[in-house]
Structure 1
Amino acid sequence: MSGGAAGAAPPREAASVPGVVPAPAGLPWWVRDLVAGAPRAAQALAGLGRVQAGTPSGRREGRAAAVLVCLSPGSRAVPAPKGGAEPLGDLLLLERAAGLRAHAGQPALPGGALDPGDDGPVAAALREAQEETRLDVAGVQVLATMPALRVPPDGFAVTPVLAWEPVPSPVAAGDPGEVVRVLRVPVAEMLDPSRRVRVTWDRRLPGAGGGEPATLRGEGPGFDVGPRPDAGARDGAGSGVDVDARDGSGAGLLVWGFTAALVSALLDAAGLAPGWEGARVVPAPALRPALDPLPPPAPAPVAAAGPPQRGQAAPGPVGAP
């Protein structure tokens, strides 16, 4: 997480849910429903960061952070689940770089820890979004903030900031050392039952008080977004590789963890989601053990022939494929 970006728009603080700021004129119905349901989503997420017995506090326990839930009009006509004619829009997501110390290779909402110069969580969310995705924050309308949520295993206290970008600006990865790619994911993909999955994961943690290592296990919602080999057959005409993921890479993304839990709670509370009945179970990608040092640098190759040696491999995924 880097310092404040030059040229950032002045911060626009929103009242904490349920005291949201007045909705801008012309706000789409589905965005209004998401904001109205945010208090119920916050209640559903209240136990998200509960510490399991025998596990230590996070290395960033209680440090304030914020994420931007940035919604925008979509570029694909999608039938509205409530029968309206207005199409659903997009959600801004990113994929973190594989070499990061924390949350390496994971999907995320733009955001990060509050810097000393940030005037609250809204300012931090906008600054981080500008740095990570090159989002033009001058065109972003802040709608509401949710109460801070504890996010394991690090223990950050993360404030979700709900926002609307009526005219989507170009986005791209800011620092390639931190962000691999940026996507505008259609909300409709997260409502498609064939793309809603249950993600299982475990992670090794050091034992509390220097005791035996503990294993943190969990299962949560996930979304298989972006293009798939059978996208044309399963999603019908008008979808497929060239339109499902708007980062131009042609690669899909498994959204899971805190990001998926937050998005799922918001969709559920807004009355948009179809539920999780019949969702297939998939393992999370391999996780680096929390608080472990990074793998050591690879030694220099001793001969020209053959591929260069790599660093220590991460532990493999768990659960059924």
Structure 2
Amino acid sequence: MSWVSEHSPLAPDAAPPWLKSLLDNTDQVKRVYRRRVPPELLGMAMTASATAATPGAGRDAAVLVLFSGPPQTHTGGVPEDVDLLVTVRAATLRHHAGQAAFPGGAADPGDLTPVHTALREANEEIGIDTRRLHPVATLERLFIPPSGFHVVPVLAYSPDPGPVAVVDEAETAIVARVPLRAFINPENRIMVYRKENTRRFAGPAFLLNEMLVWGFTGHVISAMLDVAGWAQPWDTEDVRELDEAMALVGREAGYGETQP
């Protein structure tokens, strides 16, 4: 437990001024997230949340949502070189194989808080030195079907997180520090759906150089952009089937490169 204090306290004062608009509205993220979740999935989430209230019934997990960049900006907005840490899960995993994700995973019995879980998992997955990170807030936990996990996103900030890389190729395929401006750019935004029987569940996605960020991660990022006031108008009528969207992902050097 050298990477986290005993009770994993949050340090909101460590957040830079440009992150304040998000931290002041973290209680709105879940509401905005749910706004784009199909009614069928939202019903599943609400049922699962009620079931999880029973001791031992839930499957708890946490993910690290890490913003990196300079603490100050001279423009009054988000600095150009702010980035958000994203991974791509290995194609051989049982759940959410090949999907872009935040580093994180299931809680261990020894984890005292979701912050502890997120930092431990990030250290194990991408080798990040969590002593360089400042956990600043947690979002309300969100349910992810079909894995059945109740996930707490842990927001963190670091002016310089140091090196990150794939530690275990069986779990992670890519580690990327993606410029926040790439997520904000309307040209990188589409809606994606995956056919399940005759139903179509469409949600916000981000088409980047070496990854398609969709599903839970795409929903969370979209909601954060909205509540922080960072989002720009984008074409929500551009709806692509998942396989079609994946075919648009380039394989050239870019945001998907492992950071040195």
Asked if TM exceeds 0.5, the reply is: yes
Q: Secondary structure at the match of 2:121?
A: helix
**What's the CA shift for 1:44?**
1.8
* 1:123 and 2:116 matched: yes
Q: Match of 2:180?
A: 187
The sequence identity of aligned pairs, in percent, is 40
Change (3 A) 1:12 1:133: farther
Bigger proportion of residues as helix: 2
The letter of the residue matching 2:163 is P
Structure whose alpha-carbon radius of gyration is higher = 1
Aligned to 1:31, which of 19, 22, 30?
19
**Moved >6 Å (runs of 4+):** 317-321
Cα contact 2:69–2:79 (8 A) shared by 1:
no
Q: 1:276 aligns with which of 205, 222, 234?
A: 234
Please, which of 183, 196, 206 is the counterpart of residue 223 of structure 1? 206
Q: Name the aligned partner's letter for residue 217 of structure 1.
A: R
Shift of 1:257: 0.2
Q: State how far apart, in whole Å, the 2-side matches of 1:12 and 1:166 are.
A: 23
Corresponding position of 1:229: none
Structure 1 residue 97: Cα displacement: 0.6
Partners of 1:179 and 1:268 in 2: CA distance: 28
Q: Give structure 1 stretches of 5+ with no counterpart.
A: 1-5, 16-20, 205-214, 227-251, 286-316
1:65 corresponds to which residue? 61
Alignment correspondent of 1:142:
135
Distance (Å, rounded) in 2 between the aligned partners of 1:40 and 1:114: 25
Residues of 2 paired with 1:40 and 1:102: CA distance?
28
Q: 1:216 to 1:144 in 2, by over 3 A?
A: farther
Cα separation, partners in 2 of 1:136 and 1:194, compared to 1, 3 Å: same
What are the Cα deviations for residues 190-220 of structure 1, in whole angstroms up to 9, with x where unaligned? 011110111111246xxxxxxxxxx663100
> What is the distance in 2 between the residues matched to 1:318 and 1:107?
13
Determine if contact 1:200/1:319 at 8 Å carries over to the other structure.
no
The alpha-carbon deviation at position 61 of structure 1 amounts to 7.2
Shift of 1:13: 2.9
What number of residue pairs does the alignment pair up? 236
Give the secondary structure class of the aligned counterpart of 1:45.
Answer: helix
Q: Is the 8 A contact 2:133 2:157 kept in 1?
A: yes
> Shift of residue 14 of structure 1?
4.4
TM-score under structure 1 length normalisation: 0.65
Shift of 1:147: 1.2
Instruction: Tell me the residue number matched to 1:50.
Output: 42
Alpha-carbon distance, 1:222 to partner:
0.5
Are the counterparts in 2 of residues 282 and 319 from structure 1 also a CA contact under 8 Å? no
Contact 2:193 2:202 in 1 (8 A): yes
Alpha-carbon distance change, 89 to 278 in structure 1, aligned in 2, over 3 angstroms: same
Equivalent residue number for residue 13 of structure 1: 8
C-alpha change, 1:200 and 1:23, in structure 2 (3 Å) is same
Report the residue type matching 1:255 in the other structure: V
Tell me which residue corresponds to 2:189: 196
Task: Return the alpha-carbon distance in structure 1 between the equivalents of residues 182 and 246 of structure 2.
Answer: 24
Cα offset, 1:33, TM superposition? 1.5
- Name the SS for the 1:69 alignment partner: strand
